[in-house]
Structure 1
Amino acid sequence: MLLQGVRRVFGQRAVLDGIDLSLRRGEFVAVLGPSGTGKTTLLRLLAGLDSADGGRLRVPRARSVVFQEPRLVPAGRVWENVVLGERGRAARQAALAALEEVGLAAQADAWPRTLSGGEAQRVALARALVREPDLLLLDEPFAALDALTRIRMHELVAQLWRRHHPAVVLVTHDVDEAILLADRVLVLSGGRWGIDREVAIAPPRERSDPSFAALRRELLGELGVGQPH
Structure 2
Amino acid sequence: MTGPAVTTDGTAVRIRGLRRVFGDRAVLDGLELTIRRGEFVALLGASGSGKTTLLRILGALDRADGGEVLVPRARTVVFQEPRLVPSKKVLANVAVALPRGRATRQRARTALTEVGLDRHADAWPATLSGGEAQRVALARALVRAPELLLLDEPFAALDALTRLKMQDLVGDLCRVHRPAVLLVTHDVDEAVRLADRVCVLRDGQLVTDEPVTVDRPRDPGDPAFASLRRRLLTDLGVHPATPLSPSSPHPPLTPLTPLTPLTTGAH
TM-score (norm 1): 0.98
Partner of 1:105 in structure 2?
A: 118
Matched to 1:118, the amino acid is G
SS in 2 for 1:50: coil
Partner of 2:202 in structure 1?
A: 189
The answer as to 2:191 corresponding to 1:178 is yes
- d(CA) in 1 for partners of 2:94, 2:68: 32
The answer as to 2:104 corresponding to 1:91 is yes
Matched to 2:221, the amino acid is S
- d(CA) in 2 for partners of 1:192, 1:57: 15
Matched to 2:238, the amino acid is V
Partner of 2:153 in structure 1?
A: 140
The answer as to 2:182 corresponding to 1:169 is yes
Q: Percent identity of the aligned residues?
A: 66
- d(CA) in 2 for partners of 1:111, 1:94: 19
2:137 paired residue among 107, 119, 124 = 124
Matched to 1:107, the amino acid is H
SS in 1 for 2:131: helix
Partner of 2:260 in structure 1?
A: none
Deviations 1:1-22 (A, max 9, x none): 4211010000000000010111
- d(CA) in 2 for partners of 1:94, 1:182: 27
Partner of 1:70 in structure 2?
A: 82
- d(CA) in 2 for partners of 1:8, 1:74: 34
Structure showing greater radius of gyration is 2
SS in 2 for 1:218: helix
Partner of 1:217 in structure 2?
A: 230
Q: Which has the higher contact order (CA 8 A, sep 6+)?
A: 1
Matched to 1:25, the amino acid is R
Deviation, structure 1 residue 228: 3.5
The answer as to 2:171 corresponding to 1:158 is yes
Deviation, structure 1 residue 88: 2.8
Matched to 1:117, the amino acid is G
Aligned residues: 229
- d(CA) in 1 for partners of 2:105, 2:236: 45
SS in 1 for 2:63: coil
The answer as to 2:76 corresponding to 1:39 is no
CA RMSD of aligned residues (A): 0.8
The answer as to 2:220 corresponding to 1:207 is yes
Deviation, structure 1 residue 92: 1.4
SS in 1 for 2:67: strand
TM-score (norm 2): 0.84
